[in-house]
Each structure stands twice: as C-alpha cells, then as structure tokens.
Amino acid sequence: MSVSSMTINWDALSSLTRDKFLPVLVDNIFNSNPLAVKLLKNAEMLDGGRKIITPLEYAKNTAQGFYSGYDVLDTTPSDPVTSAVWDWKQAYANISISGEEELKNSGDSMVLSLLKSKMGNAERSLKDLFGTKLFGSGTAAPGSNEITALCGQGVVDNSTDEASESAVIDYPGASVMHAGGNIDNCIIGYNRSLGGINSDSYTWWESKFASFANDKTDLTDAAEWDELTATTNGVSARIVARMTRMYGALTIGNDQPDLIICPQNLYDAYETGLQGNKRFVGTDAGLADAGFSTLKFKGADVVADSHCPAGVMLFLNTKYLDFKTHSKRNFSFQDFQKPINQDARTAKIFWMGQLVCTNPRMQGMIVAGPSGY
C-alpha cells in the first residue's frame, strides 16, 4: 500500500500497521518469555463482564459414601465451590510520529523504515512490561492498575534451624527463611489477599515455600555457589534435594508441576549437577519453537527467564494458571490520530485482561539461592 511521496497518507499507514506489522508484534510478544508462551499465547477470550469470576473447588462433597439396602442417604446440602473475583487490567503502548519526523521521512521507503522503528520500540516496551510485571513490583504489592503477579520479592529472613530451612512450608514464620510472600495480589504467597480471598482466613489459598540456604545467610558469594553446585558421583545433591522436596510437596497423584522458572544462574546450577553427559532436555514443544532451551526435572520443564527475581526458583502447575483476555482488546490497534495540542500523529495498541490462578496450593517457590556465579 503506497503512501504519498510528499506527505504521509495516514489512513494507508494505519491499515498497513494493522495488517502487516501488528501481527508480527503480537507474535513476538507471545514468544518473548516462557510464561507468555505457555499462558498469554493461549489466553481464554472473554466478551466482557464487570469482573472476571473463576469458580474454585476447595473442599470435598460431604454428602457421599457407601451404603446398602434401605440405608438413609445423606442429603445435607454441600457446596464445596466458591469463586475468586479478579479486576480487569489494561495495558497500552503508544506509537508517535512527530510533524518533524513526517517532514524528514517523505517517500515510501523512509516512511516504512520509520514505522518499523516505531513498532519495534512498542514491541520491546510491551515485552518488558509483561515480562517484568509477571514477577511483581519488588517488595510492594502490584500497582492498582497492574496484573496479578506470580510472586513478591521481599526480604529473606534468617532461620536458626537447618532442618526448617530445607523443609517445604505453607506459612513461613518470622524465624523461617522465606521471600516476601505476604504481598497482596501475588499468586505464590501467604497471609495475603488474592482474587478477593484472604489466605489468612482461608489457608487452602496458601502456596509453598522452601529455601536453598544451608545456614543463616543467603547464598550470595562464589563459595556458596560452589557449595550449591558441588557434585557427588555427578549429582548436585544440594540443589536436587531442594527441588525434589518442593516438587513432591506440590504433587498429588499425577497432578504435579509442569514448569520451573528461575534466573539463568540457577538454571546453570541445575544443569551443572546433571549426571555425566545426560542433559535431560525438556519436552515442551511451544517453548522449543519459541527458542527457549529447557531441561527436564521429573515431569516439569526447567527454563531460565531474565525477569525472574534473583535467587528464586518458581514451581508452577500451569493447569491452574490462566490469562483471561477481552476479545476486543487482545492487542487491538487504534488508528493514527492527531492530538489537538501537538504537532504529531499517535496510534495505540491496547490489551485488557488479567492473570488468574484457581489453585495457589499447587504453586511454590524456593528462595535464597545465589544471585551470581
């Protein structure tokens, strides 16, 4: 589609952006990080509603059992299902071309080159936005306009007991090593509000926590890195033991974690401890197609994510994690328009949705790993 050699045909440019550049941008966002590949790319489309409501099954039906003959059957009403309620969240990226840029980029090739640059910037901005906010806002709760986060990034407390440090726990106390899990609107947490449910009152809404540390300090220096990755007969007993405990705590029959996310250095620590030449390569085709290298730990794929907090390894059961996206705001494009008070044209890309979780009990986090090599 041609644009004028003297001035930009903005209708043509909007159509070109929507038809040619936007699909590429969206596909690149979907493949930008492991969770986007697993969840955002396969989001459930919703048509609306004031809130997003997800049913939760948190208890067994008590009106059941064996019987014989004319036994009286229990007909007591039982409602083991409640609902979590989530607010819609919105994101956008702006694409602006100033009047000066328009005048300096006359001609089809120069206009297209400028548009590619602007779309590339919007793509990088959205990738970073989703990649960062999936892992929270540091020690504070996600902002009121931000999506639900996987985890908080709080201070690690020191324990006085090695056994408790290596255990998997639901509710860390002040004397037990843990990350800042009491942060509202974080999926992996405790004593916090998530989806309108406070886990301080409903403990079945808690997650699992454990620590890599063997003493009362974080693993932060080279000696501690060597300690974590030290092998016996080709196996790094320390890191595998911690991972095994967490994996087991999150396993009920064949319901188990399928994705383990960590920073690159913890990924390397796990790979270093694998036996001999056995690489235990991951099997997730979607992650492989998106260019991510994965390893296998039991039934889960292990993958590095540059946005993952330092020293943290997340164990996720993605069956209970889901992006809900509004069907009319799935990275939709708004045509270039001219603001009344600026010499420019702006277009916008919009997204509306939320990350939800229907079972935080099946999600866990190991903290206090080394932050470097």
In the prediction, which pLDDT does 261 show? 95
User: Tokens 């095994």 appear where?
Assistant: 244
- CB under 8 Å to 203, separation ≥6 — which residues? 170, 171
What spatial distance separates the first Cα and last Cα of the chain, rounded to whole Å? Answer: 52
In the prediction, which pLDDT does 280 show? 67
| CB-based contact 217:156 (threshold 8 Å) | no
User: How many C-beta atoms surround the C-beta of residue 336 within 10 A?
Assistant: 19
Helix orientation angle between 22-30 and 108-133, rounded to the nearest 10 degrees: 30
Lowest mean pLDDT among 16-25, 131-140, 191-200, 310-319: 131-140
The residue extents of the domains of the chain are 1-52+78-373
pTM, entire model:
0.84
Query: Could you tell me which residue, 221 or 122, shows the higher pLDDT?
Result: 122
Strand partners, 356: 322
Q: Name which CATH class applies to 1-52+78-373.
A: alpha beta
In the prediction, which pLDDT does 353 show? 96
At residue 97, does pLDDT exceed 70?
Answer: yes
| CB-based contact 178:141 (threshold 8 Å) | no
**pLDDT grade for 6, boundaries at 50, 70 and 90:** very low
Query: Could you tell me which residue, 336 or 311, shows the higher pLDDT?
Result: 336
In the prediction, which pLDDT does 141 show? 72
Checking DSSP bridges between strand 208-211 and strand 364-367, what pairing results, if any? parallel
Taken in order 276, 278, 280, 286, the sign of the CA dihedral is positive
In the prediction, which pLDDT does 219 show? 46
Checking DSSP bridges between strand 52-57 and strand 193-194, what pairing results, if any? unpaired
At 173-226, the pLDDT tens digits run 544 444 556 788 889 887 889 999 988 888 888 888 887 776 544 444 455 556
Instruction: Output the six-digit token pair for 67.
Output: 């019987």
Arithmetic mean of pLDDT over the chain? 81
Instruction: Output the six-digit token pair for 250.
Output: 């999150």
Arithmetic mean of pLDDT, 289-313: 88
| CB-based contact 350:88 (threshold 8 Å) | no
The counts of H helices and E strands in the chain are 10, 16
Arithmetic mean of pLDDT, 8-12: 85
DSSP assignment letter at 113? H
In the prediction, which pLDDT does 108 show? 78
At residue 159, does pLDDT exceed 50?
Answer: no
Checking DSSP bridges between strand 193-194 and strand 197-198, what pairing results, if any? antiparallel
Interatomic CA distance for residues 202 and 41, integer angstroms: 32
Arithmetic mean of pLDDT, 14-31: 91
CA 314 to each of CA 50, 303, 320: distance values in angstroms, whole numbers, following the listed order? 31, 10, 14
Instruction: Output the six-digit token pair for 279.
Output: 């690489």
Return the amino acid letter for 185. Answer: N
Side-chain half-sphere CA neighbours of 11 within 13 A: 0
